[in-house]
Amino acid sequence: MARRDEHDASMELAGGRWDDRRDSAWSEALFGLTCLVCGASGARDGLGCDEHRLRLDRVPRCQHCAAPLPPALAAASSCGACRRAHALPNSAATRVERAHCVGDYDDPLLRELVLSFKHGGRPGLAPHLGALLHACSLHRSSSEDGRDDEHGEPRRGDLLVPVPLHPARRLERGYDQARLLADGVAAAAPVGFHSCRAVLRRVRATAPQGATGLLSREDNVHRAFAPAWPDTWSRRLVRDRRVWLVDDVWTSGATLRACAAVLRDMGVAWCGALVVARASRAARTATAPDEDAVDTASARTALEGSRLDATAIDG
């Protein structure tokens, strides 16, 4: 399989799409030429046909939570919410140093892909989404806007840690989407970028984030995660290492921050996050795939109303 150098100038995107002149051969080798949405041939960017083309945005984003920055703050590195949160005492214990995403959950096509992957029984989308997420992380780390981002890209020796799914939910779903996504990112990355499942575990089932009656999302996931067994081995694995948490969607960030807090306690040197989609603050509803504690019935209802054909070929 053809692979790209991490710093290859051909990572540039033209007009929000892969540059056809430089990327067509790489896309064909990595993804094939079948549209992941409808199964039609002619997917020049490796994901969608002309009708279902996924545009990669160039919107300036907060380096800590990947939220789009307003025009007035386009040259800034952090959004107002993150700056206020980081000013609080002990905020460093839960801080995500760098976050990357493919795009916004508001994008209808990206939302359909996420819902189909997570709740539509299409785990075969993981390699494609993982490879795209890895490419986007490198692209956004290239400092197009002039920012100094020397620590913001995945590098050799980094660990990928999927946000753990509770065993009961995994049994219901049939697979762990965060694990598959992390494996997809690792497969697209150079040798030395490892997906490591035996780091975190979910010690209790949590209510769906955004469910009626919750005091807060933070309280819902408080002490929901712990080092994987055996504790001594998992701590030794991540001590003084750079770690990237991997999940499908960042909504409030409560789940990712809770995982980051456990990792900090385990001795990691640096913690970032890779997510496929970033939900807007205005769109946090119970029907959105909020991290991994979603109301499954609502999500399936949303998926059924979508134009995505869940029977399409899994790439």
pLDDT, average across residues 34-60 = 70
Buried b (16+ CB within 10 A) or exposed e, 108-123: ebbbbbbbbbbbbebb
> Among candidates 192, 126, 202, 200, which has minimal Cα distance to 159?
192
pLDDT, average across residues 88-114 = 91
Least confident of 140-149, 169-178, 197-206: 140-149
In this structure, is residue 20 part of a structural domain? no
pLDDT, average across residues 50-70 = 83
Task: Write the pLDDT tens digit of every residue in 191-204.
Answer: 677 899 889 999 98
In this structure, is residue 12 part of a structural domain? no
What per-residue confidence (pLDDT) applies to 57? 67
Task: Please determine, for residue 178, whether its predicted confidence score (pLDDT) is greater than 90.
Answer: yes
pLDDT, average across residues 27-51 = 63
Distance, in Å, from the CA atom of 129 to the CA atom of 125, rounded to the nearest integer, reads: 6
- Per the structure, the count of domains in the chain is 1
What per-residue confidence (pLDDT) applies to 265? 96
In this structure, is residue 187 part of a structural domain? yes
> How far is residue 123 from each of residues 5, 38, 114, 313, measured CA to CA in Å?
27, 16, 10, 11
In this structure, is residue 39 part of a structural domain? no
Task: Write the pLDDT tens digit of every residue in 260-313.
Answer: 999 999 999 999 999 999 998 655 544 445 444 333 333 343 334 433 333 232
In this structure, is residue 25 part of a structural domain? no
Distance, in Å, from the CA atom of 276 to the CA atom of 114, rounded to the nearest integer, reads: 8
In this structure, is residue 310 part of a structural domain? no
Domain residue limits at 227: 61-304
In this structure, is residue 41 part of a structural domain? no
What per-residue confidence (pLDDT) applies to 10? 30
Task: Write the pLDDT tens digit of every residue in 105-134.
Answer: 999 889 989 999 999 999 999 998 998 898
Token pair 């996504």 in the structure block, residue: 181
Q: What is the pLDDT of the chain when averaged over all its residues?
A: 76
What per-residue confidence (pLDDT) applies to 170? 92
